[in-house]
Structure 1
Amino acid sequence: MHLRTFTPPATPAARAARALAAQYHSASIQNHVVRSWLWAEAFAVVEDRGDIDHELLYVSAMLHDIGIVPAFDNVDLSYEEAGGHVAVALTTGAGWDAERSRRALEVIIRHNWPSVDPAMDIEGYLLEIGTGLDISGARPDALPADFIREVLAEYPRLQLAREFGDGVVAQAARKPHTAAHRLVTGGVVGKLENHPLERTF
Protein backbone atom coordinates (compact mmCIF):
# COMPACT_ATOMS: atom_id res chain seq x y z
CA MET A 1 0.00 0.00 0.00
CA HIS A 2 1.33 3.41 -1.02
CA LEU A 3 0.12 7.01 -0.92
CA ARG A 4 -0.37 7.04 -4.69
CA THR A 5 -2.68 4.03 -4.39
CA PHE A 6 -5.42 6.49 -3.51
CA THR A 7 -6.43 9.11 -6.06
CA PRO A 8 -9.06 11.78 -5.34
CA PRO A 9 -12.17 11.37 -7.49
CA ALA A 10 -12.01 13.51 -10.63
CA THR A 11 -15.50 14.94 -10.21
CA PRO A 12 -16.85 18.48 -9.83
CA ALA A 13 -18.00 17.83 -6.24
CA ALA A 14 -14.65 16.35 -5.19
CA ARG A 15 -12.65 19.19 -6.74
CA ALA A 16 -14.95 21.80 -5.20
CA ALA A 17 -14.79 20.19 -1.75
CA ARG A 18 -10.98 20.10 -1.82
CA ALA A 19 -10.80 23.71 -3.02
CA LEU A 20 -13.28 24.95 -0.40
CA ALA A 21 -11.45 23.13 2.39
CA ALA A 22 -8.10 24.51 1.26
CA GLN A 23 -9.51 28.04 1.04
CA TYR A 24 -10.87 28.11 4.59
CA HIS A 25 -8.67 25.71 6.58
CA SER A 26 -5.23 26.34 8.00
CA ALA A 27 -2.45 24.15 6.65
CA SER A 28 -2.64 21.97 9.78
CA ILE A 29 -6.37 21.31 9.47
CA GLN A 30 -6.19 20.90 5.70
CA ASN A 31 -3.53 18.21 6.11
CA HIS A 32 -5.75 16.60 8.74
CA VAL A 33 -8.76 16.32 6.45
CA VAL A 34 -6.63 14.85 3.66
CA ARG A 35 -5.02 12.35 6.04
CA SER A 36 -8.44 11.41 7.39
CA TRP A 37 -9.53 10.52 3.86
CA LEU A 38 -6.36 8.52 3.26
CA TRP A 39 -6.70 6.62 6.54
CA ALA A 40 -10.37 5.90 5.74
CA GLU A 41 -9.52 4.55 2.30
CA ALA A 42 -6.65 2.50 3.74
CA PHE A 43 -8.92 0.99 6.38
CA ALA A 44 -11.32 0.04 3.59
CA VAL A 45 -8.48 -1.89 1.94
CA VAL A 46 -7.14 -3.66 5.03
CA GLU A 47 -10.66 -4.57 6.16
CA ASP A 48 -11.65 -5.62 2.63
CA ARG A 49 -14.66 -3.32 2.50
CA GLY A 50 -16.00 -3.72 -1.00
CA ASP A 51 -18.91 -1.51 -2.00
CA ILE A 52 -17.95 2.06 -1.09
CA ASP A 53 -19.06 5.37 -2.54
CA HIS A 54 -15.57 6.84 -2.86
CA GLU A 55 -16.75 10.25 -4.01
CA LEU A 56 -19.10 10.54 -1.03
CA LEU A 57 -16.31 9.50 1.32
CA TYR A 58 -13.88 12.01 -0.20
CA VAL A 59 -16.27 14.97 -0.13
CA SER A 60 -17.29 14.16 3.44
CA ALA A 61 -13.67 13.88 4.56
CA MET A 62 -12.73 17.20 2.98
CA LEU A 63 -15.59 19.03 4.71
CA HIS A 64 -15.98 17.16 7.99
CA ASP A 65 -14.39 19.92 10.13
CA ILE A 66 -15.37 22.99 8.15
CA GLY A 67 -18.07 23.80 10.71
CA ILE A 68 -15.30 24.87 13.11
CA VAL A 69 -14.21 27.62 10.70
CA PRO A 70 -15.69 30.98 11.79
CA ALA A 71 -17.28 31.56 8.38
CA PHE A 72 -19.34 28.38 8.75
CA ASP A 73 -19.71 28.16 12.53
CA ASN A 74 -23.33 27.90 13.65
CA VAL A 75 -24.63 29.54 16.80
CA ASP A 76 -26.44 26.39 17.94
CA LEU A 77 -25.66 23.41 15.69
CA SER A 78 -22.69 21.16 16.36
CA TYR A 79 -19.70 21.83 14.15
CA GLU A 80 -20.17 18.49 12.40
CA GLU A 81 -23.82 19.23 11.59
CA ALA A 82 -22.94 22.74 10.40
CA GLY A 83 -20.23 21.23 8.19
CA GLY A 84 -22.66 18.65 6.91
CA HIS A 85 -24.97 21.38 5.71
CA VAL A 86 -22.05 23.00 3.88
CA ALA A 87 -21.59 19.64 2.15
CA VAL A 88 -25.28 19.53 1.24
CA ALA A 89 -25.05 22.97 -0.38
CA LEU A 90 -21.84 22.15 -2.23
CA THR A 91 -22.97 18.77 -3.55
CA THR A 92 -26.40 20.08 -4.53
CA GLY A 93 -24.64 22.74 -6.58
CA ALA A 94 -22.50 20.01 -8.13
CA GLY A 95 -25.60 18.15 -9.30
CA TRP A 96 -26.12 15.50 -6.63
CA ASP A 97 -29.72 14.60 -5.95
CA ALA A 98 -31.27 15.38 -2.56
CA GLU A 99 -30.86 11.86 -1.17
CA ARG A 100 -27.16 11.65 -2.00
CA SER A 101 -26.48 15.16 -0.69
CA ARG A 102 -28.22 14.16 2.52
CA ARG A 103 -25.80 11.22 2.77
CA ALA A 104 -22.90 13.67 2.97
CA LEU A 105 -24.62 15.34 5.93
CA GLU A 106 -25.12 11.95 7.62
CA VAL A 107 -21.54 10.80 7.07
CA ILE A 108 -20.11 14.04 8.45
CA ILE A 109 -22.38 14.00 11.50
CA ARG A 110 -21.57 10.34 12.19
CA HIS A 111 -17.81 10.84 12.06
CA ASN A 112 -18.18 12.27 15.58
CA TRP A 113 -20.21 9.35 16.91
CA PRO A 114 -18.41 7.10 19.42
CA SER A 115 -18.76 4.33 16.82
CA VAL A 116 -20.63 3.67 13.58
CA ASP A 117 -22.01 0.32 12.48
CA PRO A 118 -20.52 -0.37 9.03
CA ALA A 119 -23.63 -2.33 8.10
CA MET A 120 -25.67 0.83 8.61
CA ASP A 121 -23.27 3.38 7.04
CA ILE A 122 -20.00 2.16 5.59
CA GLU A 123 -18.76 5.63 4.59
CA GLY A 124 -19.69 7.00 8.03
CA TYR A 125 -17.85 4.11 9.64
CA LEU A 126 -14.71 4.65 7.55
CA LEU A 127 -14.63 8.40 8.22
CA GLU A 128 -15.17 7.79 11.95
CA ILE A 129 -12.25 5.38 12.23
CA GLY A 130 -10.09 7.50 9.91
CA THR A 131 -10.59 10.61 12.03
CA GLY A 132 -10.34 8.49 15.16
CA LEU A 133 -6.81 7.54 14.16
CA ASP A 134 -5.81 11.08 13.23
CA ILE A 135 -7.30 12.86 16.25
CA SER A 136 -7.47 10.35 19.11
CA GLY A 137 -4.77 7.91 18.03
CA ALA A 138 -7.14 4.96 17.81
CA ARG A 139 -5.82 1.79 16.13
CA PRO A 140 -2.37 3.18 15.16
CA ASP A 141 -1.07 -0.32 14.36
CA ALA A 142 -3.92 -1.28 12.03
CA LEU A 143 -2.35 0.27 8.93
CA PRO A 144 1.09 -0.51 7.45
CA ALA A 145 3.82 1.53 9.13
CA ASP A 146 5.49 2.42 5.82
CA PHE A 147 2.22 3.81 4.51
CA ILE A 148 1.71 5.91 7.64
CA ARG A 149 5.23 7.33 7.33
CA GLU A 150 4.65 8.16 3.67
CA VAL A 151 1.39 9.97 4.39
CA LEU A 152 2.87 11.92 7.30
CA ALA A 153 5.85 12.98 5.20
CA GLU A 154 3.53 14.34 2.50
CA TYR A 155 0.89 15.74 4.87
CA PRO A 156 2.63 16.53 8.21
CA ARG A 157 0.65 17.15 11.38
CA LEU A 158 2.14 20.65 11.89
CA GLN A 159 0.16 22.45 14.62
CA LEU A 160 -2.88 20.14 14.54
CA ALA A 161 -2.84 19.36 18.28
CA ARG A 162 -3.01 23.02 19.27
CA GLU A 163 -5.32 24.24 16.52
CA PHE A 164 -7.88 21.45 16.66
CA GLY A 165 -7.68 21.33 20.45
CA ASP A 166 -8.40 25.05 20.72
CA GLY A 167 -11.22 24.80 18.20
CA VAL A 168 -13.04 21.90 19.82
CA VAL A 169 -12.64 23.36 23.32
CA ALA A 170 -14.23 26.62 22.10
CA GLN A 171 -17.07 24.66 20.49
CA ALA A 172 -17.67 22.68 23.69
CA ALA A 173 -17.76 25.84 25.82
CA ARG A 174 -20.27 27.60 23.58
CA LYS A 175 -22.32 24.52 22.67
CA PRO A 176 -22.20 22.04 25.59
CA HIS A 177 -25.08 20.03 24.12
CA THR A 178 -22.94 18.92 21.15
CA ALA A 179 -20.41 16.16 20.52
CA ALA A 180 -17.57 18.64 21.04
CA HIS A 181 -18.34 18.59 24.76
CA ARG A 182 -18.12 14.79 24.83
CA LEU A 183 -14.79 14.94 23.01
CA VAL A 184 -13.37 17.46 25.45
CA THR A 185 -14.59 15.64 28.56
CA GLY A 186 -13.25 12.44 27.02
CA GLY A 187 -9.76 13.91 27.00
CA VAL A 188 -9.27 14.75 23.34
CA VAL A 189 -6.80 17.54 24.13
CA GLY A 190 -4.53 15.15 25.98
CA LYS A 191 -4.90 12.55 23.26
CA LEU A 192 -3.80 15.10 20.69
CA GLU A 193 -0.82 16.19 22.75
CA ASN A 194 0.31 12.58 23.29
CA HIS A 195 -0.71 11.25 19.89
CA PRO A 196 1.11 8.06 18.80
CA LEU A 197 1.69 9.46 15.31
CA GLU A 198 3.45 12.43 16.91
CA ARG A 199 5.65 10.23 19.09
CA THR A 200 6.36 7.22 16.88
CA PHE A 201 6.66 8.75 13.45
Structure 2
Amino acid sequence: MITDLDKIIVPDSKIIKDAQDLLHEYGNELIWNHSNRVYLFGATKGEQDKLKYDHELLYISALFHDLGLTKQYSSDDLRFEVDGANAARQFLTTYNITPEQIQLVWDAIALHTTPGVAEHKQDEVALLFHGVGMDVMGDDFDQYSEEIRKAVVQKFPRKDFKNDIIEAFYNGIKHKPETTFGNMKEDVIKHFQPEYENKNFCTCILHSKWES
Protein backbone atom coordinates (compact mmCIF):
# COMPACT_ATOMS: atom_id res chain seq x y z
CA MET A 1 0.00 0.00 0.00
CA ILE A 2 1.44 3.36 -1.04
CA THR A 3 1.96 5.74 1.87
CA ASP A 4 3.96 8.55 0.25
CA LEU A 5 2.16 10.98 -2.05
CA ASP A 6 5.49 12.03 -3.56
CA LYS A 7 5.60 8.64 -5.29
CA ILE A 8 2.60 9.64 -7.43
CA ILE A 9 3.52 11.22 -10.76
CA VAL A 10 1.78 14.54 -11.38
CA PRO A 11 2.47 15.65 -14.98
CA ASP A 12 3.26 19.33 -15.53
CA SER A 13 3.45 19.59 -19.32
CA LYS A 14 2.12 22.56 -21.28
CA ILE A 15 -1.13 20.76 -22.11
CA ILE A 16 -1.67 20.03 -18.40
CA LYS A 17 -0.98 23.62 -17.42
CA ASP A 18 -3.37 24.84 -20.12
CA ALA A 19 -6.06 22.46 -18.87
CA GLN A 20 -5.49 23.66 -15.31
CA ASP A 21 -5.83 27.27 -16.45
CA LEU A 22 -9.09 26.44 -18.18
CA LEU A 23 -10.48 24.81 -15.04
CA HIS A 24 -9.42 27.81 -12.97
CA GLU A 25 -11.16 30.12 -15.43
CA TYR A 26 -14.49 28.32 -15.73
CA GLY A 27 -14.65 26.13 -12.64
CA ASN A 28 -14.41 26.95 -8.95
CA GLU A 29 -12.51 25.89 -5.87
CA LEU A 30 -14.85 22.97 -5.23
CA ILE A 31 -14.33 21.44 -8.68
CA TRP A 32 -10.61 22.24 -8.67
CA ASN A 33 -9.93 20.47 -5.39
CA HIS A 34 -12.22 17.57 -6.25
CA SER A 35 -10.69 17.06 -9.71
CA ASN A 36 -7.16 17.00 -8.32
CA ARG A 37 -8.11 14.59 -5.55
CA VAL A 38 -9.75 12.36 -8.16
CA TYR A 39 -6.52 12.25 -10.14
CA LEU A 40 -4.39 11.51 -7.10
CA PHE A 41 -6.68 8.73 -5.89
CA GLY A 42 -6.93 7.27 -9.38
CA ALA A 43 -3.18 7.46 -9.91
CA THR A 44 -2.55 5.90 -6.49
CA LYS A 45 -4.70 2.93 -7.43
CA GLY A 46 -2.91 2.70 -10.75
CA GLU A 47 0.47 2.54 -9.02
CA GLN A 48 -0.70 0.07 -6.39
CA ASP A 49 -2.17 -2.20 -9.07
CA LYS A 50 0.98 -1.75 -11.17
CA LEU A 51 -0.97 -0.59 -14.21
CA LYS A 52 0.63 0.96 -17.28
CA TYR A 53 -1.50 4.03 -17.89
CA ASP A 54 -0.96 7.48 -19.36
CA HIS A 55 -0.64 9.92 -16.45
CA GLU A 56 -1.25 12.91 -18.70
CA LEU A 57 -4.47 11.55 -20.18
CA LEU A 58 -5.74 10.50 -16.76
CA TYR A 59 -5.03 13.95 -15.31
CA ILE A 60 -6.70 15.74 -18.21
CA SER A 61 -9.72 13.46 -17.79
CA ALA A 62 -9.86 14.34 -14.11
CA LEU A 63 -9.59 18.08 -14.78
CA PHE A 64 -12.43 18.00 -17.32
CA HIS A 65 -14.71 15.40 -15.78
CA ASP A 66 -17.02 17.88 -14.01
CA LEU A 67 -16.70 20.87 -16.34
CA GLY A 68 -20.08 19.91 -17.77
CA LEU A 69 -21.57 21.30 -14.56
CA THR A 70 -20.33 24.82 -15.32
CA LYS A 71 -22.28 27.49 -17.20
CA GLN A 72 -19.56 27.69 -19.85
CA TYR A 73 -19.85 24.05 -20.89
CA SER A 74 -23.35 22.99 -19.88
CA SER A 75 -25.69 22.19 -22.77
CA ASP A 76 -29.47 22.30 -22.72
CA ASP A 77 -30.08 18.65 -23.51
CA LEU A 78 -27.04 16.44 -22.92
CA ARG A 79 -25.88 14.62 -19.81
CA PHE A 80 -23.33 16.72 -17.97
CA GLU A 81 -20.79 13.92 -18.34
CA VAL A 82 -21.10 14.19 -22.13
CA ASP A 83 -20.76 17.98 -21.94
CA GLY A 84 -17.48 17.55 -20.06
CA ALA A 85 -16.30 14.91 -22.52
CA ASN A 86 -17.13 17.17 -25.46
CA ALA A 87 -15.26 20.05 -23.81
CA ALA A 88 -12.19 17.84 -23.42
CA ARG A 89 -12.41 16.71 -27.04
CA GLN A 90 -12.60 20.31 -28.24
CA PHE A 91 -9.62 21.22 -26.06
CA LEU A 92 -7.47 18.27 -27.12
CA THR A 93 -7.97 18.76 -30.86
CA THR A 94 -5.70 21.82 -30.69
CA TYR A 95 -2.78 19.71 -29.46
CA ASN A 96 -0.70 16.90 -30.91
CA ILE A 97 -3.00 14.20 -29.54
CA THR A 98 -4.07 11.19 -31.57
CA PRO A 99 -7.76 10.51 -32.29
CA GLU A 100 -7.47 7.32 -30.23
CA GLN A 101 -6.17 9.27 -27.22
CA ILE A 102 -8.93 11.85 -27.59
CA GLN A 103 -11.53 9.09 -27.69
CA LEU A 104 -9.99 7.51 -24.59
CA VAL A 105 -10.34 10.76 -22.65
CA TRP A 106 -13.87 11.23 -23.99
CA ASP A 107 -14.85 7.75 -22.83
CA ALA A 108 -13.29 8.23 -19.41
CA ILE A 109 -15.25 11.42 -18.76
CA ALA A 110 -18.52 10.30 -20.33
CA LEU A 111 -18.51 7.04 -18.36
CA HIS A 112 -17.23 8.26 -15.01
CA THR A 113 -20.68 7.84 -13.40
CA THR A 114 -21.47 4.52 -15.08
CA PRO A 115 -20.71 1.62 -12.72
CA GLY A 116 -20.63 -1.82 -14.21
CA VAL A 117 -19.07 -0.53 -17.43
CA ALA A 118 -16.30 2.01 -16.79
CA GLU A 119 -14.26 -0.24 -14.51
CA HIS A 120 -13.98 -2.84 -17.29
CA LYS A 121 -12.60 -0.51 -19.97
CA GLN A 122 -9.08 0.82 -20.53
CA ASP A 123 -6.99 1.62 -17.47
CA GLU A 124 -7.40 5.40 -17.81
CA VAL A 125 -11.20 5.04 -17.97
CA ALA A 126 -11.27 2.65 -15.01
CA LEU A 127 -8.90 4.74 -12.90
CA LEU A 128 -10.90 7.92 -13.40
CA PHE A 129 -14.02 6.00 -12.36
CA HIS A 130 -12.27 4.64 -9.26
CA GLY A 131 -10.86 8.06 -8.36
CA VAL A 132 -14.29 9.65 -8.60
CA GLY A 133 -15.86 6.85 -6.59
CA MET A 134 -13.27 7.18 -3.84
CA ASP A 135 -13.59 10.94 -3.52
CA VAL A 136 -17.38 11.20 -3.82
CA MET A 137 -18.64 8.05 -2.10
CA GLY A 138 -15.59 6.64 -0.35
CA ASP A 139 -15.51 3.55 -2.56
CA ASP A 140 -12.65 1.19 -1.59
CA PHE A 141 -11.74 3.66 1.18
CA ASP A 142 -9.57 1.20 3.10
CA GLN A 143 -7.53 0.34 0.01
CA TYR A 144 -5.87 3.74 0.40
CA SER A 145 -3.45 4.26 3.27
CA GLU A 146 -4.31 6.80 5.93
CA GLU A 147 -1.14 8.66 5.00
CA ILE A 148 -2.26 9.03 1.38
CA ARG A 149 -5.79 10.07 2.34
CA LYS A 150 -4.53 12.74 4.73
CA ALA A 151 -1.89 14.01 2.30
CA VAL A 152 -4.37 14.34 -0.56
CA VAL A 153 -6.94 16.17 1.56
CA GLN A 154 -4.30 18.43 3.07
CA LYS A 155 -3.18 19.44 -0.41
CA PHE A 156 -6.71 19.75 -1.80
CA PRO A 157 -9.13 20.29 1.13
CA ARG A 158 -12.61 18.80 1.21
CA LYS A 159 -14.20 21.43 3.51
CA ASP A 160 -17.98 20.69 3.34
CA PHE A 161 -17.55 18.57 0.24
CA LYS A 162 -20.37 16.09 0.87
CA ASN A 163 -23.06 18.77 0.85
CA ASP A 164 -21.34 21.09 -1.60
CA ILE A 165 -20.91 18.47 -4.33
CA ILE A 166 -24.55 17.37 -4.16
CA GLU A 167 -25.60 21.02 -4.53
CA ALA A 168 -23.12 21.49 -7.39
CA PHE A 169 -24.57 18.46 -9.18
CA TYR A 170 -28.07 19.85 -8.79
CA ASN A 171 -27.17 23.35 -9.94
CA GLY A 172 -25.49 21.84 -12.99
CA ILE A 173 -28.40 19.63 -14.08
CA LYS A 174 -31.60 21.14 -12.65
CA HIS A 175 -32.38 22.83 -15.98
CA LYS A 176 -32.37 19.45 -17.74
CA PRO A 177 -33.61 16.80 -15.27
CA GLU A 178 -34.70 14.56 -18.14
CA THR A 179 -31.02 13.81 -18.83
CA THR A 180 -30.88 11.88 -15.56
CA PHE A 181 -33.17 9.15 -16.87
CA GLY A 182 -31.41 5.83 -16.38
CA ASN A 183 -28.48 7.17 -14.39
CA MET A 184 -27.57 7.89 -10.77
CA LYS A 185 -27.95 11.66 -11.06
CA GLU A 186 -31.72 11.18 -10.92
CA ASP A 187 -31.11 10.71 -7.18
CA VAL A 188 -29.77 14.28 -7.05
CA ILE A 189 -32.93 15.68 -8.65
CA LYS A 190 -35.04 13.64 -6.23
CA HIS A 191 -33.00 14.96 -3.30
CA PHE A 192 -34.01 18.54 -4.08
CA GLN A 193 -37.31 17.86 -5.86
CA PRO A 194 -38.94 14.79 -4.24
CA GLU A 195 -42.03 15.26 -6.38
CA TYR A 196 -40.12 14.98 -9.66
CA GLU A 197 -41.03 11.96 -11.79
CA ASN A 198 -38.76 10.92 -14.62
CA LYS A 199 -39.65 8.45 -17.33
CA ASN A 200 -40.10 4.85 -16.29
CA PHE A 201 -38.31 2.18 -18.32
CA CYS A 202 -41.16 -0.33 -18.15
CA THR A 203 -43.67 2.36 -19.13
CA CYS A 204 -41.51 3.26 -22.13
CA ILE A 205 -41.66 -0.38 -23.25
CA LEU A 206 -45.36 -0.89 -22.62
CA HIS A 207 -46.40 2.42 -24.23
CA SER A 208 -44.25 2.09 -27.32
CA LYS A 209 -45.88 2.02 -30.78
CA TRP A 210 -45.29 -1.72 -31.09
CA GLU A 211 -48.48 -3.80 -30.95
CA SER A 212 -46.91 -6.46 -28.78
Could you say whether these structures have the same fold, taking a TM-score greater than 0.5 normalized by the shorter chain as the test? Answer: yes
Q: Which residue of 2 aligns with 1:92?
A: 93
C-alpha distance 180-150 of structure 1, shift in aligned 2 (>3 A): farther
Match for 1:33: what amino acid? S
Contact 1:46 1:143 in 2 (8 A): no
Root-mean-square deviation (CA, aligned residues, Å) is 2.3
User: Quick one: distance in 2 between partners of 1:169 and 1:186?
Assistant: 6
Question: Following the alignment from structure 2 to structure 1, what is the Cα–Cα distance between the partners of residues 98 and 160?
Answer: 37
Contact 2:166 2:188 in 1 (8 A): no
TM-score norm. by structure 1 comes to: 0.84
Residue 11 of structure 2 corresponds to which residue in structure 1?
9
Count of paired positions:
188
Residue 129 of structure 1 and its aligned partner are, at CA, apart by 0.9
Query: CA contact under 8 A between 1:67 and 1:81: conserved in structure 2?
Result: yes
In structure 2, runs of 5+ residues without a counterpart are: 192-212
Q: Which moved more, 1:65-74 or 1:40-49?
A: 40-49
* Contact 1:67/1:83, CA 8 A, preserved across alignment: yes
Which structure has the greater CA radius of gyration? 2
CA positional deviation for 1:115: 3.3
Q: Is the 8 A contact 2:108 2:118 kept in 1?
A: no
Gaps of 5+ in 1: 190-201
Counterpart of 2:205? Answer: none
Give the distance between the partners of 1:161 and 1:180, measured in 2 at CA.
23
Report the residue type matching 1:8 in the other structure. Answer: V
Pick which of 70-79 and 155-164 moved more: 155-164
Normalised by the size of structure 2, how large is the TM-score?
Answer: 0.80
Change (3 A) 1:149 1:125: same
Which of residues 18, 21, 28 in structure 1 aligns to 2:20?
18
Whether the 8 Å CA contact 1:16–1:90 is kept in 2: the answer is no
* Distance (Å, rounded) in 1 between the aligned partners of 2:113 and 2:166: 15
